Chains A and B, each alone.
Chain A
Amino acid sequence: GNSVTQMEGPVTLSEEAFLTINCTYTATGYPSLFWYVQYPGEGLQLLLKATKADDKGSNKGFEATYRKETTSFHLEKGSVQVSDSAVYFCALTINDMRFGAGTRLTVKP
């Protein structure tokens, strides 16, 4: 079945550090890929998405490229801020939406 494997956390970084959170997927067919962010006690907010191979999603300094050859959708940000502290979920959708385990990011001043 369809599934997402996401880098385990937690991840702790200093402000302005470079961030990478790895995500790989398994799917039959051609899924769309997403990164969602969840702040404490809240639902999920869409961070970025990509709908086909080689698409790059970007938002708020975050980027991820849909790599079909490596079945990956790694999330990157060049310079993280304290306000980026949250849990990040990689997800794919074909009909329904499946999530990775989530990666908790803490950014320290």
Chain B
Amino acid sequence: GAVVSQHPSWVICKSGTSVKIECRSLDFQATTMFWYRQFPKQSLMLMATSNEGSKATYEQGVEKDKFLINHASLTLSTLTVTSAHPEDSSFYICSARDIITATQNTEAFFGQGTRLTVV
């Protein structure tokens, strides 16, 4: 089956530093990847839609200068949390659609998530 690998699975960083999270589709290509944020015991909130070779589309209220998204290839998207602060601590999850089978209504495959703790 389709596998999405997210790295790192957890990271602790100091306040004011930047952290990069990678999302890779291992056995398929993805023109579109999605980034979500999940607070404890809450649902997934869509942060942005990452499109290969173009700018990401951010949801309302998400700071694009703080959460930098790059989708440089069909198998890799990165989320960089810049100048991280304790309130950015959260569980970040990416997902991707297979370019071959994807329509606007097909399922997405999810990474295992990254737990970010900013101290």
Which residue numbers of A lie inside 8 Å of B, CB to CB?
30-32, 34, 36, 41-46, 49, 51, 89, 93-102, 104
Contacts and interface: CB of A to CB of B under 8 A. Distances in A.
Given A43-B6, A43-B113, A96-B34, A102 B43 contact: yes
B54 interface: no
Interface of B: 4, 6, 34, 41-44, 46, 49, 93, 95, 104-113, 115
Contacts of A44: 44, 93, 95, 110
Which of A43, A89, A93 has the most chain B CB atoms closer than 10 A to its own CB? Answer: A43
Contacts of B104: 93-95
A93 B112 contact: no
A43 B93 contact: yes
A89 B105 contact: no
For B4, B6, B49, B110, the residue with the greatest tally of chain A CB atoms inside 10 Å of its CB is B110
B54 to A, nearest CB: 15
Contacts of B6: 43
Given A32-B105, A44-B95, A95-B104, 7 more contacts: A34-B107, A41-B115, A42-B113, A43-B6, A49-B107, A93-B106, A93-B107
